[in-house]
C-alpha cells in the first residue's frame, strides 16, 4: 500500500490559523508516501509567509488572483507528482489512518476512480458534517443531498451509514481520485469557481463509465464555512447557478430542455420563500443566477460539447442504476417532511 504515491492538495484563502491546524494534522498521518501541496489563492493575510517559515517541507504555490476552489485544485493537480490526488479543505483534521482506507477502496476495483471519507462536524462531534456527510446523492432536478444531511437537517451519526457504497458524488471537502482520470476528464470546471464542481466531476466520471464511492471507515472532521459562510448570499448564488448549469449541460439536450422549466418553477418558489424570510439579497441571487444563464448560452454550449466528447454512458443507464433520485428531494423534504436519507 505504501507504494501508492498520494499528492495532498489543499486550496487556501486567508485564515492561516485553520490551515496550520490542517497541516499539522496531515503531517501526523500514518500513511507517509505523500506530498502536501498548498495552493494559496492570493491570500491577503500572512498565510504564505507563515507557511514558508513553519512548514518548509511542504510545497507552496502562490497564485496572483483568487481563482476559487476549482481553479486552485486544477493548478495543484498539474504540479502533483503522485499517482493519486487527494483534494482536501483547509478547515479539516483527520484520523491518522484515513488515507489507507481510501486507497484500499479505490484500488479494489478498476472502475472506482473517486472515494470520499465519512465527514463529521468538528464542532458537533457525533453528527455528520453539512458538506459531504457519508456520501453525496442528487435528484433528477440536480438538487444535491447526502447520506446524513438533506438541506439543513443534519443527522446524528449512529453508524447508520457506515457501509461503503457507490454514491453519485464525492465531497470536495475531501476525496481521493486517480490523477490520470482527473486530467483526462479536464479536471474541475473553473467557471464554476466553487460549489458543485465535485458533483460535475463525478458526473463526468459516471458518463465515462467509472464509479464514485464513499468509504466510511475513513473519517475526517470539518469546521465548515470558514472561507464562505453558509448564510452568504454568494453561496446561494453559486449553488443555484452551478446546479442549473449542470442540469442544462450534463444531460442529453432533450432531457435538459424538458426538466429546465420544472427547475425554474422551483427557483421561483425559493425566491418567494426567501422574500417571506426577509432575505432579500438571497432572493435576488436566484434571479441573478437565471440572468447568468441567459447571458452565457455560448459557455453552456461549450460545456455540452465537452460532455458529449466524454459521454460513453446514456442518461437512461444512469437512471437505471438508481444514481439519481427519481423524485424531487424538494417535494420529499418540504411537502412530505422526509428529513432523513433513510426515509427516502
148: left (phi over 0), alpha (psi -120 to 50) or beta: left
- Degrees to nearest 5, angle at CA 41 with 40 and 43: 80
Please report whether residue 242 resides in a domain.
yes
* Claim to verify: residue 287 and residue 157 sit in the same structural domain: no
Please report whether residue 299 resides in a domain.
yes
What CATH number has the domain bearing residue 50? 3.90.550.10
φ, ψ of residue 84 to 5 degrees: the values are -115, 145
pLDDT at residue 125, rounded to an integer: 84
R_g of the chain, CA atoms, integer Å: 19
pLDDT at residue 227, rounded to an integer: 58
Helix, strand and coil in the chain, % to nearest 5: 45, 20, 35
* Per-residue cell: 120: 463529521
Please report whether residue 329 resides in a domain.
no
* Claim to verify: residue 218 and residue 239 sit in the same structural domain: no
Maximum distance among all Cα pairs of the chain, rounded to whole angstroms: 57
Range of the domain at 25: 6-222
Three-class SS of residue 153?
strand
pLDDT in tens, the chain (344 residues): 678 999 999 999 999 999 999 999 999 999 999 999 999 999 999 999 999 999 999 999 999 999 999 999 999 999 999 999 999 999 999 999 999 999 999 999 999 999 999 999 999 989 999 999 999 999 999 999 999 999 999 999 999 999 999 999 999 999 999 999 999 999 999 999 989 999 999 999 999 999 999 999 999 999 976 555 667 899 999 999 999 999 999 999 999 999 999 999 999 999 999 999 999 999 999 999 999 999 999 999 999 999 999 999 999 999 999 999 999 999 999 999 999 999 99
Please report whether residue 304 resides in a domain.
yes
For the CA atoms of 52, 85, 193, 221, the dihedral, rounded to the nearest 10 degrees, stands at -80
Per the document, the length of the chain is 344
Q: Rounded to two decimals, what is the model's pTM?
A: 0.96
Please report whether residue 328 resides in a domain.
no
DSSP code, position 156? B
* Claim to verify: residue 295 and residue 200 sit in the same structural domain: no
* Per-residue cell: 116: 470520499
- Number of domains forming the structure of the chain: 2
Please report whether residue 321 resides in a domain.
no
* Claim to verify: residue 240 and residue 305 sit in the same structural domain: yes
* Claim to verify: residue 11 and residue 110 sit in the same structural domain: yes
CA 100 to chain centroid, in Å, comes to 21
* Claim to verify: residue 266 and residue 289 sit in the same structural domain: yes
Amino acid at each position: 500500500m505504501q507504494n501508492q504515491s498520494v499528492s495532498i492538495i489543499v486550496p487556501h484563502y486567508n485564515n492561516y490559523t485553520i490551515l496550520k491546524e490542517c497541516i499539522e494534522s496531515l503531517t501526523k498521518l500514518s500513511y507517509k508516501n505523500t506530498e502536501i501541496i498548498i495552493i494559496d489563492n492570493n491570500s491577503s493575510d500572512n498565510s504564505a509567509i507563515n507557511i514558508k517559515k513553519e512548514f518548509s517541507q511542504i510545497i507552496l504555490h502562490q497564485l496572483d488572483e483568487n481563482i476559487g476552489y476549482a481553479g486552485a485544485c486544477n493548478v495543484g493537480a498539474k504540479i502533483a507528482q503522485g499517482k493519486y490526488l487527494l483534494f482536501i479543505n483547509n478547515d479539516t483534521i483527520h484520523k491518522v489512518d484515513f488515507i489507507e482506507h481510501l486507497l484500499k477502496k479505490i484500488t479494489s476495483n478498476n472502475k472506482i476512480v473517486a472515494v470520499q471519507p465519512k465527514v463529521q462536524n468538528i464542532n458537533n462531534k457525533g453528527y455528520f458534517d453539512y458538506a459531504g456527510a457519508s456520501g453525496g446523492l442528487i435528484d433528477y432536478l440536480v438538487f444535491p443531498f447526502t447520506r446524513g444531511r438533506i438541506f439543513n437537517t443534519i443527522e446524528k451519526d449512529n453508524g447508520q451509514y457506515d457501509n461503503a457504497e457507490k454514491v453519485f458524488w464525492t465531497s470536495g471537502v475531501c476525496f481521493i481520485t486517480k490523477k490520470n482520470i482527473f486530467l483526462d476528464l479536464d479536471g474541475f470546471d473553473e467557471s464554476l469557481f466553487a460549489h458543485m464542481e465535485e458533483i460535475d466531476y463525478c458526473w463526468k466520471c459516471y458518463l465515462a463509465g467509472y464509479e464514485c464511492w464513499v468509504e466510511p471507515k475513513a473519517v475526517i472532521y470539518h469546521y465548515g464555512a470558514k472561507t464562505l459562510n453558509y448564510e452568504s448570499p454568494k453561496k446561494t448564488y453559486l449553488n443555484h447557478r452551478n446546479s442549473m448549469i449542470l442540469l442544462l449541460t450534463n444531460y442529453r439536450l432533450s432531457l435538459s430542455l424538458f426538466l429546465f422549466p420544472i427547475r425554474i418553477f422551483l427557483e421561483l418558489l425559493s425566491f418567494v420563500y426567501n422574500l417571506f424570510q426577509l432575505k432579500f439579497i438571497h432572493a435576488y441571487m436566484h434571479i441573478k443566477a437565471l440572468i447568468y444563464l441567459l447571458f452565457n448560452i455560448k459557455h453552456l454550449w461549450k460545456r455540452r460539447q465537452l460532455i458529449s466528447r466524454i459521454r460513453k454512458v446514456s442518461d437512461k443507464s444512469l437512471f437505471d442504476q438508481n444514481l439519481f433520485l427519481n423524485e424531487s428531494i424538494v417535494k420529499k423534504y418540504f411537502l412530505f417532511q422526509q428529513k432523513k436519507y433513510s426515509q427516502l
